[in-house]
Amino acid sequence: MSSITTNVASIAALQTLRLLNSSLRTTEGVVSSGMRVETASDNAAYWSIATTMRSDRAAVSAVRNALDIGASVVDMSYEAMDHVKDVLSEMRAKLVTANDASVDKSKIQEEISQLAQSTVSIAAAASFNGVNWLTTNIHDLYEAIPSDRSAKLTSSFVRGADGTVSVGATMFDLINTSLFNSEGDGILQGDPRSPGTIGGIRPYENWLTPDIGNDYQPNYPIAGMPATLLQYIPYTVVGDDDVPTPIVFSNTDTITFDITIDGDDPSQGLAGPLNPGITTTGITIDYALVNSVAGASIDNATEMVAVLNAAFQAKGIDTLVSASRPMIHPSGAPPYPDPAHYEIMTLENSGLDGSQVQISNFSSTINVGSLGDANSYGILGSLIPLTFEPFKVFKDVVIDFTFGVSGEPTETHAIDRNTVNAILGTTDGWVNTADDMVTILEALITRPNTIIEANGSSILVRSDPLDDRLNGGKTDIGFTNMSVNVEPIPEMGVLDIDIEKYPGAVNSYLNSVDIMLARVTSGTAALGALKKRIDLQASHTETMIDAISSGVGRLVVADMEEESTRLGALQTQQQLALQSLSIVNSAPQALLSLFG
């Protein structure tokens, strides 16, 4: 049915044209911008994701720039460290040359001084954009926590699953590269962490002592004095020398006596039963013995020693006789006069606890000085004197040692910062006084009846004499198997080397430079590893930037081939819609013409 008031077909065609025009405008916008989702109204979810990822891509790009700066700092530090390594190698070669006694050490010192100064210059110049990892300003370098002495390099941007973001950082401990620190302790300035004598329990000499380096005797037992009987033969004082008077034997001269060794001392308060020792009777020295050993006369203490030893050996006695130079008016320089003194001591192989030497029933037809009836006992119990020196236990230092007495099972101990602080109730690791050291040793040593006493700067560690029945040379007490985990360390810096002033310390300097060279090499290797890590991180960051761009594109970028095809189709449909609208509009005109 046709109507002159309502053209239903025209309305339908117009609606179709409007829809086509809207789709056409949308498609034309996509084609012109290249974006499938350009505004939130296009697709709110995709638009939100894309906007967030674009922001993340900018952040990752900033990380990439930061990595470039970090790589430049590392490169600068690496090249400088590598150069310092070469300088130290040359310095070490100079010190090896200085070991030759014929070289002019003053000339070599001039070269070493120049090399040392060059390390300062290299370290100071190793700066990029004001950042220097070789010349540092770190308070208490070895005591600082790693985070306080570390360089921080931005290395990543991370968005968590919960939407939170964080910036990742690579930390590099500058203790690996600090050659010169404002407060000291740099690699080329000497390491302060040596505990020295460890309060006196190990022998230790500083770096200026010739040929000492970091070597020391790990065992330090001091036994109680063995029982000795000091004897004299007649002597005459001439000027500054002691000139012995010969003892001339005739065919009828004899010396006889008995000797007792290794008996217990009743006066020392030991619980019984006491051992009386081993007695040998009838020791005889006559013309035949003297003549076979020393000739017709005994001219000095050396010959007296030979005669007595021959007499003791003939009886199978477990003793030793030794000679010593004069104790009064000694000559100021060699050649020394003939020894005027000798001593008789027990070798203490009898198996008895005592350390006694007794001469009894002495009889002589000739003057032999003070040789005669006498009795001497060794010191009861073990003891060791310690000369205390203050020391600090650094946070990363561990001191290990064993303690033992007279062949008993030893006990092993360790001293570290926590041990010192817990025992002394402090926080800084310092052992400042002999009393502090006594407190530490008393807390650690568990052997019963061990007495540890302080007197000023001296400490005496001993076994209780009433508990330890051993005497003399059989006694033994000490700290053994000493080790400090950070040693060996250089105790002086390159600027302290002076072989002209301290020619005897060449080996010590050489050892220290060798250790410094090893540390610089290690630091250079650490920088090389960091450089590799930064390169890998930078490459990964580039990949991340590309991946984010690709991901955003998948969400919001239009497929231009598809959109172009759609645009052409929509344009064709638009033409058809216009033709349809024209056709449906012509029908009412034809109807109206019938009434004309």
The DSSP string of 384-444 is EEEE---EE--TT-EEEEEEEETTSPPEEEEEEHHHHHHHHT-SS-EE-SHHHHHHHHHHH
**Least confident residue range of 23-32, 108-117, 192-201:** 23-32
Give the span between the Cα atoms of 151 and 74, in whole angstroms. Answer: 11
Sign of CA dihedral 573, 575, 576, 578: positive
Ramachandran assignment for 329, one of left (phi > 0), alpha (psi -120 to 50 degrees), beta (any other): left
Last residue of a domain, one of 377, 404, 428: 377
Q: Which of 211, 196, 154, 146 is nearest to 174 (CA)?
A: 146
Question: What pLDDT was estimated at residue 180?
Answer: 95
Do 518 and 225 meet the contact criterion of CB atoms below 8 Å apart? no
Altogether, the residues listed in the chain come to a count of 596
Tokens of residue 234, six digits: 């007649």
Give the span between the Cα atoms of 476 and 220, in whole angstroms. Answer: 10
Q: Which of 495, 556, 399 is nearest to 187 (CA)?
A: 495
Give 381's pLDDT tier (boundaries 50, 70, 90): confident
Q: Omega before 488 cis (within 30°)?
A: yes
Residues 336 and 241 in one domain: yes
Is residue 52's pLDDT more than 90? no
Is residue 456's pLDDT more than 80? yes
Considering the domain boundaries, does residue 554 fall inside one?
no
Residues 454 and 368 in one domain: no
Tokens of residue 126, six digits: 């190793």
207-220 exposure pattern, b = at least 16 Cβ within 10 A, e = fewer: bbeeebbbeeeeeb
Last residue of a domain, one of 436, 462, 484: 484
Considering the domain boundaries, does residue 308 fall inside one?
yes
Helix (H) / strand (E) containing 480: strand 477-484
Do 27 and 19 meet the contact criterion of CB atoms below 8 Å apart? no
| HSE of 570, CA atoms in CB hemisphere, 13 A | 19
Last residue of a domain, one of 377, 404, 435: 377
Question: What pLDDT was estimated at residue 330?
Answer: 42
Considering the domain boundaries, does residue 556 fall inside one?
no
558-585 exposure pattern, b = at least 16 Cβ within 10 A, e = fewer: beeeebeebbeebeebbeebeebbeebe
Tokens of residue 26, six digits: 């949308």
Which residues are bridge partners to 232 per DSSP? Answer: 341
Is residue 9's pLDDT more than 80? no
Give the span between the Cα atoms of 76 and 386, in whole angstroms. Answer: 50
Query: In 10 A of CB 65, how many CB atoms?
Result: 12
Question: What pLDDT was estimated at residue 374?
Answer: 85
State percent of the chain over pLDDT 90. 33
Question: What pLDDT was estimated at residue 118?
Answer: 96
Q: Residue 107 CA to chain centroid, in angstroms?
A: 34
Give 237's pLDDT tier (boundaries 50, 70, 90): very low
Residues 138 and 117 in one domain: yes
Residues 295 and 348 in one domain: yes
Give the span between the Cα atoms of 450 and 453, in whole angstroms. Answer: 10
Tokens of residue 79, six digits: 């090249």
Do 28 and 126 meet the contact criterion of CB atoms below 8 Å apart? no
Do 356 and 379 meet the contact criterion of CB atoms below 8 Å apart? no
Q: How many domains does the chain have?
A: 4
End-to-end CA distance of the chain: 20
| HSE of 132, CA atoms in CB hemisphere, 13 A | 20
Residues 343 and 450 in one domain: no
Residue holding tokens 């290299």?
122
Residue holding tokens 């095809």?
565
Is residue 373's pLDDT more than 50? yes
Tokens of residue 8, six digits: 């239903």
Give the span between the Cα atoms of 411 and 401, in whole angstroms. Answer: 8
Question: What pLDDT was estimated at residue 4?
Answer: 57
Q: Residue 57 CA to chain centroid, in angstroms?
A: 44
Question: What pLDDT was estimated at residue 487?
Answer: 87
Considering the domain boundaries, does residue 489 fall inside one?
no
Give the span between the Cα atoms of 591 and 596, in whole angstroms. Answer: 10
Do 301 and 341 meet the contact criterion of CB atoms below 8 Å apart? yes
Considering the domain boundaries, does residue 3 fall inside one?
no
Residues 369 and 234 in one domain: yes
Residue 110 one-letter amino acid: E
Tokens of residue 559, six digits: 């497929």
Considering the domain boundaries, does residue 454 fall inside one?
yes
Residues 202 and 189 in one domain: no
Its domain, for residue 187, covers 47-193+494-549
Most confident of 271-280, 419-428, 460-469, 568-577: 419-428
Which residues are bridge partners to 286 per DSSP? Answer: 254
**Least confident residue range of 91-105, 112-126, 207-221, 488-502:** 207-221
Give the span between the Cα atoms of 12 and 338, in whole angstroms. Answer: 143
Considering the domain boundaries, does residue 474 fall inside one?
yes
Residues 240 and 336 in one domain: yes
**Least confident residue range of 109-118, 185-194, 345-354:** 345-354
Q: Which of 401, 465, 488 is nearest to 214 (CA)?
A: 488
Do 141 and 178 meet the contact criterion of CB atoms below 8 Å apart? yes
Helix (H) / strand (E) containing 461: strand 458-463
Residues 61 and 23 in one domain: no
Residues 236 and 184 in one domain: no
Residues 20 and 91 in one domain: no
329: DSSP letter: S
Q: For the residues 365-372, what does the mean pLDDT come to?
A: 82
Q: Residue 368 CA to chain centroid, in angstroms?
A: 61
Q: What is the pTM of this model?
A: 0.69
Q: Residue 82 CA to chain centroid, in angstroms?
A: 22
Question: What pLDDT was estimated at residue 329?
Answer: 40
Residue 30 one-letter amino acid: V
Residue 500 one-letter amino acid: E
Residues 53 and 174 in one domain: yes
pLDDT averaged over every residue in the chain = 79
Give 328's pLDDT tier (boundaries 50, 70, 90): very low
CATH number at residue 521: 1.20.1330.10
156: DSSP letter: E
Considering the domain boundaries, does residue 123 fall inside one?
yes
**Least confident residue range of 89-93, 176-180, 324-328:** 324-328
